[in-house]
Structure 1
């Protein structure tokens, strides 16, 4: 892509912030506004000591603590109705930041404990909320069923069964989040094979904490078409070339990476290195309220730090649309909305 020497004005940054956006890496529970979780806890009389700071934001230090706080916050989400309300809240927040299409990670472990019958009930509530939001505020949601790595391969098989049994025009993908430092990716190959056989598209969190080898193993052992984060691939030029040649898309979350200390500042983030090497990249928020970010913030921060212009963000959207886990009817409809801007 072109390099730009023209500094941004406040007007040009504002225009970039208002661009329509596509987001491919968003955790459903991780997108819950703190006020929503606190309010739900109050309604249910539940104690969430340690989950929030004095200013009301989520309280954590480091990746493992973040995971424990995340899971503690989900304990207030106990019914399909809770997930209906959560879905509306997160989609309203995303839409307010210009997102017109988003994919979120949905875990059967949190939605019914991996039981297929319960999962169907939770999913019906989530989908109903998504359809209401698409009608009323113009944001389209698709779901990626996600197992949790540190819950182990056996629970991953249950999640994959839930995914396979509900695959269709709304549940379009399967992936894995959780603690990247637990186990090996090949331990989860069976669940990914189940999802693939059901026609689901595949992604996996890799190359955030472990190095480039983990990214290569994601491709070799799980045969995914997208990788969540994947930023450590920038340490291996041959791997970057392989990702570029095979069109493996990275769901890059710069604000998340900085907030968790993968990189200490945005200037040190390798997103531009990956992009300039030809690796397909997209930009997402991951768990936005945890990391004090929004899609607007991500766009503006990248513009300020790397001098990216509207053309660069338009290409990001084009890449996200090309690699989105949706059917062609949906892809065409989103493309028309982007063209109309």
Structure 2
């Protein structure tokens, strides 16, 4: 029986973080400090039992309200990158919908520019992924895709929020703009929606990555398609139990690994879910029984699926191999 080895230090495993939302990246202490500064009530913790998306969104929106200045944005990104770097992250992608910040910052452009400036100040390389929302009109997604295409430092385009109820095909024009600009494409899918939704995001939007996508495991044909097209799933283990989507032990990582589907482990919103990047890997080791070889595959998959420069990818993949080769046996 091939049991997981507890010998290698997961923190030392080189990683890429590909699914991290700006507000959700905030340290709890920073949220408390900024809320006090601006006279805003700190939202309560997310319930540990299965809750609703609305309850999550209310807490997220309340947290986002404390980000009022470019200095606030810069602080959150620098602190998040510092925390991820301590967990072995060598490439970070921050996801942001500038729409939510535009009223305070004076428009979409200054909001995005504040995020890009924060990314440039981080201690590790940070790319920015602009995301529209499944619950906003497709025309708005097209506006944001055009915005994303204009800025150096923006590496991708996606759709966040609750994916239920939207018509996937309606967002094809926005994703065409993003692909034509050379941006990676990463819509959220397969969280609440079935495997067919994941398939549509790949076939109709040209998705190169899927945010979450765990429902794909229920359809072998979709799993095979993801593997054949090397579409990476951005899986965030601690995001699923609060909504009753999965228990930690039922996340179908082994299904994806067995089929050769690339998986990038990420944290999503550590402010709300409470677990950093190393912790997500630890969960895969302890709750799912993954071996160090499996964890190295996940780390390599995340690096390969990232928008990191080719030379950085090559170096990090070599370091992953070294971690696996030199660790205790």
TM over 0.5: yes
For residues 228 and 55 of structure 2, what CA distance do their matches in structure 1 show?
Answer: 37
Query: In the alignment, which residue of structure 2 is the partner of 1:132?
Result: 121
Alignment of 1:293-312 (within 5 A): 293-312=275-294
RMSD, aligned α-carbons: 2.3
For residues 317 and 261 of structure 2, what CA distance do their matches in structure 1 show?
Answer: 22
Equivalent residue of 2:272, what SS?
coil
Alignment of 1:162-181 (within 5 A): 162-166=147-151, 168=152, 170-181=153-164
1:171-212 alpha-carbon deviations (Å, 9 max, x no partner): 111011011113111121121112122221111100110111
For residues 43 and 114 of structure 1, what CA distance do their matches in structure 2 show?
Answer: 16
In structure 1, runs of 5+ residues without a counterpart are: none
Greater CA deviation, 314-323 or 122-131? 122-131
Residue pair 1:62, 1:261 contacting (<8 A) in 2 also: no
Greater CA deviation, 125-134 or 75-84? 125-134
Alignment of 1:27-66 (within 5 A): 27-48=21-42, 51-52=43-44, 57-58=45-46, 61-66=51-56
1:214-252 alpha-carbon deviations (Å, 9 max, x no partner): 011101211111111111011001111111111111111
In structure 2, runs of 5+ residues without a counterpart are: 324-329
Alignment of 1:1-341 (within 5 A): 4-5=2-3, 8-9=5-6, 12=7, 15-48=9-42, 51-52=43-44, 57-58=45-46, 61-113=51-103, 118-134=107-123, 139-166=124-151, 168=152, 170-263=153-246, 265-335=247-317, 338=320
- 1:123 to partner: Cα distance: 3.6
Residue pair 1:59, 1:69 contacting (<8 A) in 2 also: no
- 1:24 to partner: Cα distance: 1.1
- 1:213 to partner: Cα distance: 0.7
Residue pair 1:114, 1:162 contacting (<8 A) in 2 also: no
For residues 166 and 273 of structure 2, what CA distance do their matches in structure 1 show?
Answer: 26
1:48-99 alpha-carbon deviations (Å, 9 max, x no partner): 4xx12xxxx4568322210122122112212222211111121122223222
Equivalent residue of 1:163, what SS?
helix
Higher relative contact order, chain-length normalized (CA < 8 Å, sep 6+)? 2
For residues 140 and 10 of structure 2, what CA distance do their matches in structure 1 show?
Answer: 42
For residues 85 and 227 of structure 1, what CA distance do their matches in structure 2 show?
Answer: 28
For residues 316 and 172 of structure 1, what CA distance do their matches in structure 2 show?
Answer: 21
Greater CA deviation, 241-250 or 149-158? 149-158
For residues 109 and 333 of structure 1, what CA distance do their matches in structure 2 show?
Answer: 36
- 1:338 to partner: Cα distance: 4.3
Equivalent residue of 1:150, what SS?
coil
